[in-house]
């Protein structure tokens, strides 16, 4: 039985010990909760701080994305505008050259791939000229087109004008030779031409003959050892060094002894090599149409090579100018230059004054020196080398020239001014060689106004006109048997029957070669003294392969054999 208090609520008994135990259990059970709470608060605080730190970065990233998008949009718009401009230019070229047919072309490369760079390129143009006897359109890539002319009557319309050189291919020369007489236009060209013309006056050229003769003799003395061998040697290198020696003496009164002095030979040869490299790189740049863009070319390996070669060539001409300016600081030297009867090309550049007593700027002087250094030695070297080769291939004409020269020199082994007019047959042979192997095989202009040709066809202003001197000189409608070496073409009675624009090795008209008399005189001197001392013999195993590199060169060099001439006492 339950007692009266059995259903009553019973409360636990709390002793001191039990209370202590419960308190401990309660505290220990609450610690993890507090720890988690504290960690949670700490993590939230850290995350907040981290997010605060990354907020600027997030903003920067968004800004970069925006900038990249803007740059991409700008590049896209620029590319569209550029392509649109090129398409408009292409359409303008097509419209301008519509009256002129041309050989079949690739839609993108044009006629570039037709030129193999194997010695046949110039003959390819002659072959096309037979199908298009007056003029033809030629494309170099998808956006550059030239009207190529190769008939005297067409050439006359261009060369008798003062139309400037084209602003494409000639612009590639400006970093090298500056805006000199070769590439300048308008009033600048007219002023420079007028200031420089006195440098090629009869009285200035006359004393140069002895200097040319001395340089030629130095080269021929070096050939004595070569004449003892029964093998050919490469000609162009020797002639190029000789013409450089000549131009240094005549134009800059600088006797470098570059043909014999071992100390300076490396530097001079480095200049000749630089000129060769520059000529080749300009040709490459013209043929690879993406290189028409300055920044693409400058970023390329070829652009680096071009700048390096420019530095070498220009350092040579800068040294020439620097040396002369140092001399001119001396008042006595300046008075001597102004007073002397025969002044050189550099004297004229430094002392020239126009009607306003204004001289040429330092930049203009350097441009003209660079231009004349290149044109005065490289083109002449080409003309002399190919003439010697022509005479080696035609021994019967070579002997006639030799007999004439020996008679004119009257026992002397050097040339004088009066002897130049005593060699008419030799002069005809030189001209015939210049016809077959023009030192500058092509030139080009850009029209500033519409031009109408004799057959009624016309081109608008802004058209590029290429004049193929090589094709004109081998045009079968102008020259009978054009590939045959025949000096009699230049007998006075035969020349009178032809257009004066059928033979243009030095161009023609107001923009003709200012130094053509200098070049012809040097060619006569060198050819005469060479034939007097040596028989020239062709090497049939090493036929030259002609290539245009600003001047006419050979892909495999020009090789000859030589034997001494034994004169009867």
CA distances 272 to 240, 513, 546, Å, are 8, 22, 19
Tell which residue, 369, 346, 349, 367, has the closest CA to residue 359.
349
Annotated binding site: 513
Residue 19 has a pLDDT of 47
CA dist 345 and 347 (Å) reads 5
Domains and CATH numbers, the chain: 112-564 (1.10.630.10)
Which tens digit of pLDDT belongs to each residue from 59-91?
656 667 788 778 888 888 888 888 898 899 899
Q: How confident is the model at residue 258 (pLDDT cuts 50, 70, 90)?
A: confident
pLDDT reported for residue 9? 43
- What is the chain's mean pLDDT, rounded? 87
**% of the chain beyond a pLDDT of 90:** 67
Tokens of 55: 């907020």
Chain mean position to CA 366: 17
CA–CA separation, 537 and 499 (whole Å): 34
Q: Supply the pLDDT for residue 296.
A: 93
Cβ atoms of 234 and 557 closer than 8 Å: yes
* Tens of pLDDT, residues 130-184: 999 999 999 999 999 999 999 999 999 999 999 999 999 999 999 999 999 999 9
Report pLDDT for 350: 83
Residue 11 has which token pair? Answer: 């409360």
Would the pLDDT of 13 be above 60?
no
**367, two tokens:** 């441009």
d(CA 290, CA 152): 33
pLDDT at residue 331 tops 70:
no
Tell me what pLDDT residue 102 has: 96
Distance separating the N- and C-terminal Cα atoms of the chain = 176
The reported pLDDT for the residue numbered 260 is 80
pLDDT higher than threshold 80 for residue 41: no
Confidence of residue 567 (pLDDT cuts 50, 70, 90): confident
Q: Is residue 225 pLDDT above 50, yes or no?
A: yes
Q: What is the mean pLDDT of residues 388-396?
A: 98
Q: Could you please report the per-residue DSSP string of 458-518?
A: EE-TT-EEEEEHHHHHT-TTTSSSTTS--GGGGSHHHHTTS-TTS--BTB-GGGS-TTHHH
DSSP string, 382-450: HHHHHHHHHHHH-HHHHHHHHHHHHHHHTT-SS--GGGGGG-HHHHHHHHHHHHHS-SS-EEEEE-SS-
In angstroms, the Cα distances linking 375 to 74, 220, 497, 506, 542 are 44, 23, 31, 11, 27
Extract the tokens encoding 425. 């047959």
One DSSP character per residue, 178-203 reads -S-TTT--HHHHHHHHHHHGGGGSHH
**Cα–Cα distance, 322 to 466 (Å, whole number):** 38
Give the pLDDT confidence of 452-486 residue by residue, as tens digits: 999 999 999 999 999 999 999 999 999 999 999 99
Angle (deg, nearest 10), helices 516-533 and 380-393: 40
Query: Model's pTM, two decimal places?
Result: 0.85
Quick check: 485 and 394 in contact, CB under 8 A?
yes
Cross-sheet strand order for the sheet of 135-139: 135-139, 145-149, 464-468, 442-446
Closest CA to 466 of 34, 136, 17, 147: 147
Question: Per the annotation, where are the binding residues for heme?
Answer: 513
CA dist 44 and 421 (Å) reads 106
What confidence score (pLDDT) does residue 265 get? 47
pLDDT at 256: 81
Query: Residue 287: its pLDDT value, please?
Result: 92
What does the pLDDT look like over 14-38, one tens digit per residue?
A: 454 444 444 444 444 455 555 555 5
pLDDT digits (tens, 9 = 90+) for 279-309: 999 999 999 989 999 999 999 999 999 999 9
Q: Helix or strand or coil: residue 29?
A: helix
Condensed to tens digits (0 to 9), the pLDDT of residues 171-217 reads 999 999 999 999 999 999 999 999 888 888 888 899 999 999 999 99
DSSP, res 541: T
Residue 73 to residue 476: CA distance in whole angstroms: 56
């Amino acid at each position: 039985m339950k007692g009266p208090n059995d259903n009553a609520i019973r409360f636990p008994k709390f002793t001191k010990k039990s209370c202590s135990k419960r308190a401990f259990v309660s505290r220990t059970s609450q610690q993890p909760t507090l720890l988690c709470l504290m960690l949670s608060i700490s993590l939230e605080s850290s995350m907040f701080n981290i997010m605060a730190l990354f907020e600027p970065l997030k903003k920067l990233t968004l800004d970069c994305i925006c900038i990249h998008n803007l740059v991409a949009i700008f590049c896209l718009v620029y590319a569209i505008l550029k392509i649109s401009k090129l398409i408009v230019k292409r359409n303008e070229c097509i419209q301008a050259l519509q009256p002129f047919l041309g050989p079949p072309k690739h839609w993108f490369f044009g006629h570039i791939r037709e030129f193999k760079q194997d010695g046949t390129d110039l003959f390819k143009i002659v072959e096309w000229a037979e199908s298009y006897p007056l003029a033809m359109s030629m494309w170099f890539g998808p956006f550059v087109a030239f009207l190529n002319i190769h008939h005297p009557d067409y050439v006359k319309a261009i060369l008798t004008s003062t139309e400037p050189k084209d602003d494409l291919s000639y612009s590639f020369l400006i970093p090298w030779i500056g805006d000199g007489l070769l590439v300048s236009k308008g009033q600048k060209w007219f002023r420079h031409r007028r200031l420089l013309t006195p440098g090629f006056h009869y009285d200035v050229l006359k004393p140069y003959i002895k200097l040319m003769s001395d340089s030629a003799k130095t080269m021929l003395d070096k050939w004595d050892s070569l004449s003892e061998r029964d093998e050919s040697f490469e000609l162009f290198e020797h002639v190029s060094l000789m013409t450089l020696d000549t131009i240094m003496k005549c134009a800059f009164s600088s006797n470098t002894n570059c043909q014999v002095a071992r100390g300076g030979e490396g530097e001079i040869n480095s200049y000749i090599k630089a000129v060769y490299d520059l000529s080749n790189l300009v040709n490459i740049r013209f043929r690879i149409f993406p290189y028409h863009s300055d920044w693409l070319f400058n970023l390329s390996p070829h652009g680096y090579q071009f700048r390096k070669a420019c530095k070498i060539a220009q350092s040579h001409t800068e040294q020439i100018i620097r040396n002369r300016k140092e001399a001119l600081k001396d008042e006595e030297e300046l008075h001597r230059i102004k007073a002397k009867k025969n002044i050189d090309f550099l004297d004229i550049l430094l002392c020239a004054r126009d009607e306003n007593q204004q001289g040429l700027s330092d930049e203009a002087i350097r441009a003209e020196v660079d231009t004349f250094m290149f044109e005065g030695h490289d083109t002449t070297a080409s003309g002399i080398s190919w003439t010697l080769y022509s005479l080696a291939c035609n021994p019967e004409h070579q002997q006639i020239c030799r007999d004439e020269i020996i008679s004119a020199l009257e026992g002397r082994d050097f040339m004088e001014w009066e002897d130049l007019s005593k060699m008419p047959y030799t002069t005809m042979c030189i001209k015939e060689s210049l016809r077959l192997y023009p030192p500058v095989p092509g030139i080009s202009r850009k029209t500033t106004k519409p031009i109408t040709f004799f057959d009624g066809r016309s081109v608008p202003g802004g058209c590029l006109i290429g004049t193929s001197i090589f094709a004109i000189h081998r045009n079968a409608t102008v020259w009978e048997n054009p590939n045959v070496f025949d000096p009699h073409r230049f007998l006075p009675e035969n020349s009178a029957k032809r257009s004066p624009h059928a033979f243009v090795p030095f161009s023609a008209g107001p923009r003709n070669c200012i130094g053509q008399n200098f070049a012809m005189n040097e060619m006569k001197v060198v050819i005469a003294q060479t034939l007097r001392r040596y028989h020239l013999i062709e090497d049939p195993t090493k036929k030259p392969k002609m290539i245009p590199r600003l001047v006419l060169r050979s892909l495999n060099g020009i090789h000859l054999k030589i034997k001494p001439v034994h004169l009867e006492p």
